[in-house]
Amino acid sequence: MSEILTRQDCLALDAADPLRELRNQFTLPEGVIYLDGNSLGALPAATPARVAAAIQQEWGEGLIRSWNSAGWIAQPQRLGDKIARLVGAAPGELVVADSTSVNLYKVLSAALSIAKADAPERKVILSDRENFPTDLYIAQSLCAQHGLTLELTSAAELQARLAGGADIAVLMWTQVNYRSGQMLDMARVTALAHAAGALTIWDLAHSAGAVPVDLKGAQADFAIGCGYKYLNGGPGAPAFAWAHPRHADRFWQPLSGWMGHAAPFRFDTDYRPAQGVSRYLCGTPAVLAMSALECGIDTLLAAEPLGGMAALRAKSLQLSRLFIDQVRQRCAAHALPLASPLDDAQRGSQVSLAHNEGGYAVMAALIERGVIGDFRAGASSEAEPDLLRFGFTPLYTRFVDVFDAVTALAEVLDSGEWRQARFNQRAAVT
């Protein structure tokens, strides 16, 4: 355990932080410590004016001309190229469109088509039993359509299952587990899947903008991700889809809408898919939402002169290690087992703490004090503990925020006030 740091020590860390000015890109409410960027990123200061301009000038004055003059029609590719810089993809390989769920349906359908063509005897989609439910629901739907089986395993069992994986068509996994924050080595797991003859789909919802990702370097096959968590695109922001160039042109994705057509403005009655990843588009781009998302992406690209994702990752680990040490030292009288990996290499940008007695109430009490994290109920059985999740977004989270958050947590637990918060219906928990 590290030597305990004081609040003054944390203020000194903030003063010496080379990334400290990036916080000024955000509008953050006074009196709030926001540790839930892993669910919804904070508001970039540039977003309100950018969205207002899209409404008032581009839409209000430019009208339909803005599809060309304001570049609306190219938003999916332009924003895709920006996100590609954060996830180890090349320009022209990634598009922004639709939701994470819809994009997963597209890429999983394409991956299954490839698997059926190359190895029709393979009938299993393998995934994490702790995967985010939407991923599992989409996979269940496709299994029902194609006569396949969705099999669930754990990270601990994954290597052994892949070693005997002659029946596996697709490995569908989230790189950073949404509950525990456990992060898998993408390159290693992809290599194991390929050795077993399976394709890989990586969900980057808790990775993109939080940890360095190298899709091309890992030789991944497909990926999808979320725009409203670490990319700070706003609630319900558009998501993204990526296909490795070796796969991009092999099959249509099933939602063959007009924007994925090779020549959408020819208005042909027959569908011809666009070249490359643009075929993963479907309907008309959500212009206002993409305008907001671009501001969020730009907050991350602003870190490039300061070391980019590597520098953000280094600070994220400092923040989460500080939090873990502070909780262990200052909340030692309370049962708060660490539910995230202690090993930095295996932990994303969040820390989860188990609380068997009243996790919802503890988080509600923290939120009443202005410390916003979130709560997740026990996963698959009553024996599994509730989780308190704390996200550490290095763009705007300070070291003193971590210290003050643990102070509030210790006070909530020491005073027992969480026992009253349990019954307070006004205490919203995200």
The greatest distance separating any two alpha carbons of the chain, rounded to the nearest whole angstrom, comes to 69
Please report the sign of the dihedral spanned by the C-alpha atoms of residue 153, residue 189, residue 321, residue 404. Answer: negative
Cα 228 to chain center, whole Å?
Answer: 8
Bridge partner list, 168:
124
**Cα(107)–Cα(25) distance, integer angstroms:** 34
Bridge partner list, 239:
97
What digits encode the pLDDT tens for the residues 132-181? 999 999 999 999 999 999 999 999 999 999 999 999 999 999 999 999 99
- The answer to whether the CB of 26 falls within 8 A of the CB of 299 is yes
- The answer to whether the CB of 392 falls within 8 A of the CB of 373 is no
Q: Is 206 annotated as a binding residue?
A: yes
Q: Where do the domains of the chain lie? A: 7-45+307-421, 71-301
**Cα(232)–Cα(38) distance, integer angstroms:** 10
Q: Is 228 annotated as a binding residue?
A: yes
Q: Is 415 annotated as a binding residue?
A: no
- The answer to whether the CB of 188 falls within 8 A of the CB of 155 is no
pLDDT at residue 3 greater than cutoff 80: no
The residues assigned a catalytic role are 132, 203, 228-229, 389
What digits encode the pLDDT tens for the residues 28-39? 999 999 999 999
Count of C-beta atoms within a 10 Å radius of residue 85:
17
What digits encode the pLDDT tens for the residues 74-101? 999 999 999 999 999 999 999 999 999 9
CATH of 71-301, one of 3.30.930.10, 3.50.50.60, 3.10.105.10, 3.40.640.10: 3.40.640.10
pLDDT of residue 124: 98
Confidence of residue 357 (pLDDT cuts 50, 70, 90): confident
CB proximity list for 290: less than 8 A, separation 6 or greater: 75, 76, 79, 96, 238
Confidence of residue 422 (pLDDT cuts 50, 70, 90): low
pLDDT of residue 379: 61
Q: Is 26 annotated as a binding residue?
A: no
Bridge partner list, 153:
128
CATH of 7-45+307-421, one of 3.30.70.560, 3.30.450.90, 3.40.1130.10, 3.90.1150.10: 3.90.1150.10
pLDDT at residue 430 greater than cutoff 80: no
What digits encode the pLDDT tens for the residues 223-274? 999 999 999 999 999 999 999 999 999 999 999 999 999 999 999 999 999 9
Confidence of residue 382 (pLDDT cuts 50, 70, 90): low
Cα dihedral angle (8, 9, 12, 13), rounded to 10 degrees? -140
Share of the chain above pLDDT 70, in %: 96
pLDDT at residue 423 greater than cutoff 60: no
pLDDT of residue 228: 98
Confidence of residue 427 (pLDDT cuts 50, 70, 90): very low
Read off the amino acid at residue 338: L
**Cα(257)–Cα(260) distance, integer angstroms:** 6
Taking the complete model, does pTM exceed 0.75, yes or no? yes
Confidence of residue 200 (pLDDT cuts 50, 70, 90): very high
Q: Is 128 annotated as a binding residue?
A: no
Mean pLDDT computed over every residue of the chain: 95
Cα dihedral angle (224, 229, 234, 237), rounded to 10 degrees? 10
- Give the total residue count for the chain: 430
- The answer to whether the CB of 335 falls within 8 A of the CB of 167 is no
CB proximity list for 73: less than 8 A, separation 6 or greater: 67, 285
